[in-house]
Amino acid sequence: MAVQPLVRARDLHVSFVSRDSTVKAVNGIDLDLVEGEVLCILGESGSGKSVTLRALMQLNPKGKTVMSGELNVAGNDMMTISDAKLSAMRGKVVSMIFQEPMTALDPVFTIGQQIGETLMRHEGIGYREAEKKALDLLELVQIPSAKRRLGAYPHELSGGLRQRAMIAMAISCRPKLLLADEPTTALDATVQIQILLLLRRLQQELGMGVVFVTHDLGVAGEIADRIAVMYAGRMVELGSVTDVMAKPLHPYAQGLMGATVHAGNRGKRLTTIPGSPPDLRFPIPGCAFAPRCQYVGDACREHVPDFRYPAEGRAVRCVKAEEVAAA
């Protein structure tokens, strides 16, 4: 039997229902992640990347969220999982780091207490031992003068140190799966690279599977094994980081690459994608990118294109994939 994947999603749908409207945030996602793999979900705001990530831990708001499809995380069926099992799993098997550590950490508890709480809850150890382990964790994430920082409150730390503390908390029980929701977006450039390198090292040392959500192609290039590009709630392209960055196949992924300002295109006009991302309250029949796509044809507007597999390990959801690849 093949190795059980850490994450397996099939035709996953997530919508948010309110009295006024239904927002179809995720419209049928297939996702596989094996242990020790880093998958980056790349997309713009409203593409459904964060909602997908939150669905893996059932963190979308209860009562407003409607999920369908198949979702299995580390052997647990997330569609039917009980609340007790879910809270035993969160922090132990799956944990998450967020974009804004100031709002993700509790302002009235010290860093040491917050890391210790997770350890005591899942490892069944006492306060003393938890504190000792918390200190080791702070050293592992390279927080200078760790002993003093154990007693610090979140507001006493700089942005980079807060993010390190949150990482320490997330990895405290050696989870199999780490979910990262734009963890470096709020950080300065010189701090961002430090955190990315730290995450990469920890991922390799602990052998975690990581799903990393970002809108920044450069960040994905530094950390990912595979990249999944999302647009309007669907995955439009999937492939190894080298393939996708060297030769994107979906017109949206190509456009994104061309629109990213990088060294060497000074003085030239940037190639742009016309228009703006669609409003998910009003679903577009057919390919959601069709209204902005230069290759668009009649078939694109009729139904949602199926995935095509142009090469080993690559998938692209575009009926014109061959034409786009040749361009």
Give the interface with another protein as residue ranges (CB under 8 A).
44-45, 144, 158-161, 188-194, 196-197, 215-219, 221-222, 224, 241-242, 245, 255-256, 258-263, 265-266, 269-274, 276-277
Q: In angstroms, what is the minimal distance from the CB of 263 to another protein?
A: 6
Q: In angstroms, what is the minimal distance from the CB of 121 to another protein?
A: 30
Nearer to another protein among residue 106 and residue 188 (C-beta): 188
Nearer to another protein among residue 76 and residue 185 (C-beta): 185
Q: Are 180 and 213 in contact (CB under 8 A)?
A: yes
Nearer to another protein among residue 62 and residue 155 (C-beta): 155
Place of tokens 């994450």: 7
Q: In angstroms, what is the minimal distance from the CB of 267 to another protein?
A: 8
Q: In angstroms, what is the minimal distance from the CB of 169 to another protein?
A: 19
Q: In angstroms, what is the minimal distance from the CB of 269 to another protein?
A: 5
Q: Are 224 and 212 in contact (CB under 8 A)?
A: yes
Nearer to another protein among residue 84 and residue 189 (C-beta): 189
Phi, psi of 210 (to 5 degrees): -130, 130
Residue 296, classified by CB atoms within 10 Å of its CB into exposed (0-12), middle (13-18) or buried (19+), is middle
Nearer to another protein among residue 21 and residue 158 (C-beta): 158
Nearer to another protein among residue 110 and residue 192 (C-beta): 192
Q: In angstroms, what is the minimal distance from the CB of 280 to another protein?
A: 13
Distance CA 98, CA 277 (A): 24
Residues in the chain: 327
Q: Are 5 and 33 in contact (CB under 8 A)?
A: yes
Element containing residue 14 per DSSP (H, E): strand 7-17
Residues 6+ apart with CB under 8 A from 72: 7, 8, 9, 78
Nearer to another protein among residue 81 and residue 193 (C-beta): 193
In order, the DSSP letters of 251-266 are HHHHHHHHHS--TT-T
Q: In angstroms, what is the minimal distance from the CB of 171 to another protein?
A: 19
Place of tokens 């668009």: 296
Amino acid at 196: L
Nearest to 187 by CA among 54, 97, 107: 97
Nearer to another protein among residue 27 and residue 47 (C-beta): 47
Would you call 127 helix, strand, or coil by DSSP? Answer: helix
Q: In angstroms, what is the minimal distance from the CB of 105 to another protein?
A: 16
Nearer to another protein among residue 5 and residue 239 (C-beta): 239
Q: In angstroms, what is the minimal distance from the CB of 79 to another protein?
A: 31
Q: Are 96 and 180 in contact (CB under 8 A)?
A: yes
Burial 201-223 (b: 16+ CB within 10 A, else e): ebbeeeebbbbbbbbebebbebb
